[in-house]
Amino acid sequence: MEKKLALEHLKLATLDSQGLTQNTPFGTGKEAVLHALEHLGYIQIDTLSMVERAHHHTLWTRIPDFKTDYLDKLVEERKVFEYWFHAASYLPMQDFRYVLPQMLTIKRGESRYYNADPKVMQYVTDIIRNEGPKRARDFENESHKTGIWWNWKPAKLALERLFMQGDLMISGRSGMQKTYDLAERVLPSSVNTTEPTPHELAEYLVTTNLRAYGFTTVKQITHLRNGNDLKKNVNEVLQTMLEEDRISKVKVDGGNSVFVQNNLLEKTFDLTDSKVWLLSPFDNSIIHRDRIRQFFDFDFRLECYTPKEKRQYGYFCLPILFGDQFIGRVDCKAHRKEKKLELIHLHIENHTIAPEVWLPPFAETVKRFAVFNGCESLVLTKVSPSKLGSMIKKALSSGSKLKK
């Protein structure tokens, strides 16, 4: 029989699964990064740099002592690799075999994306095999060689195709500059490279979603993944887990049914010391926008791709989570030369919680975030509603210097 569950309990359960109810849910240091990736399944990579990039920001949110070189070191140690989840991502090396179906689809030419000239692909492969790891920019000067008909753009397309079909892997990075090497020289010999069956892939997606979010739906599990066969397999896996009493199908107060891990049904959560989390727009916890709207009553859209005149909140807003409620968002920019973090426009949207309650932890989090961005000063330019401006500015200025 389908069970019922209060919305508040479900919200706490999913935040707990995301590592957003504790200070150090995955431990500390470099190993915490690996634990976080293995638990969450992936961390999305993003190229935007208004503030510290999304993959670093998302991990910093859950690992207070996070340092940006931790990811690089884990890639060098071959414990983490880059590929596609629903977007470009870091993934734990232990899950490598579950990206093979997509790699092989591209290799067989069944995708309409990642087209490249086979001759250039062979040339790029030979260069890397003979000369060692290469970046895209290493091919920039090829067009200047007499008699060489290829140039940088075809070589870059070839690198992308070879990477997406699994012949090359990213062996390291310098900022956003990727270094490619032959997959055979990057993959540890201990890694399982057996292509999963469609059913095994569905099992992986279901268990990853349940572990990372606490509850899930078929729509969420198959997010940006096409195919009726996948949906069919996912439904079969969920049905088997229900029959084995590993999960429950729960009717949420005022909402639809979801699949929930049984261990979360009776679990209690303590948010007496509620914290403020300043989330990346690409944070795992909010990446499914309709899910956040339905269960947290928070409508979030990243507006950097929206024409300026049509933006409602700002170019690069960060959602603000207080306890189990989203209280607003803030458009931010780190001015790195001036070492200044600017809160361009802070939007406070929850008016039921007194500012005196959320403001102290908010100020603490913003100051920590400024330091994380390499900033030594903090400025608040605009607040909505404006009546909160002086109170918030005072809280942000108290304690003067930012703590490192």
**What confidence tens digit (pLDDT) does each residue in 126-180 have?**
999 999 999 988 887 654 454 444 456 889 999 999 999 999 999 998 878 899 9
Residue with tokens 């207070």: 64
Residue with tokens 């479900």: 10
Half-sphere exposure of 216 (CA within 13 A, CB side): 25
In total, the chain counts a number of residues equal to 404
Mean pLDDT, the chain, integer: 92
Residue with tokens 């903090």: 378
Whole-model pTM above 0.85? yes
pLDDT for position 175: 77
Half-sphere exposure of 188 (CA within 13 A, CB side): 16
φ and ψ of 171, to 5 deg: -95, -10
pLDDT digits (tens, 9 = 90+) for 316-353: 999 999 999 999 999 999 999 999 999 999 999 999 99
Contact 32, 78 (CB under 8 A): no
Distance in angstroms (rounded) separating the CA atoms of residues 280 and 286: 9
- Residue partners of 210: CB distance under 8 A and separation at least 6: 216, 247, 259, 261
Contact 208, 177 (CB under 8 A): no
Rg of the Cα atoms in the chain: 23
Contact 382, 345 (CB under 8 A): yes
pLDDT for position 148: 46
* Of 64, 16, 11, the residue nearest 40 (C-alpha): 16
User: What 3-state class would DSSP assign to 60?
Assistant: helix
Count Cβ atoms below 10 Å from residue 256 Cβ, excluding itself. Answer: 11
* Of 324, 217, 215, the residue nearest 264 (C-alpha): 215
Count Cβ atoms below 10 Å from residue 41 Cβ, excluding itself. Answer: 21
Contact 126, 162 (CB under 8 A): no
pLDDT digits (tens, 9 = 90+) for 221-244: 998 887 789 999 999 999 999 999
Contact 49, 138 (CB under 8 A): no
Mean pLDDT is highest, among 193-202, 217-226, 255-264, for 193-202
φ and ψ of 178, to 5 deg: -90, 145
- Residue partners of 178: CB distance under 8 A and separation at least 6: 82, 135, 136, 170, 172
Q: In what order do the strands lie in the sheet with 257-261?
A: 3-5, 247-252, 257-261, 215-216
Distance in angstroms (rounded) separating the CA atoms of residues 161 and 103: 10
DSSP-H helix ranges across 165-288: 183-186, 198-213, 218-221, 228-243
pLDDT digits (tens, 9 = 90+) for 30-82: 999 999 999 999 999 988 899 999 999 999 999 999 999 999 999 999 999 99
Q: How far is CA 264 from each of CA 4, 106, 240, 321, rounded to the nearest angstrom?
A: 13, 39, 19, 21
pLDDT for position 1: 56
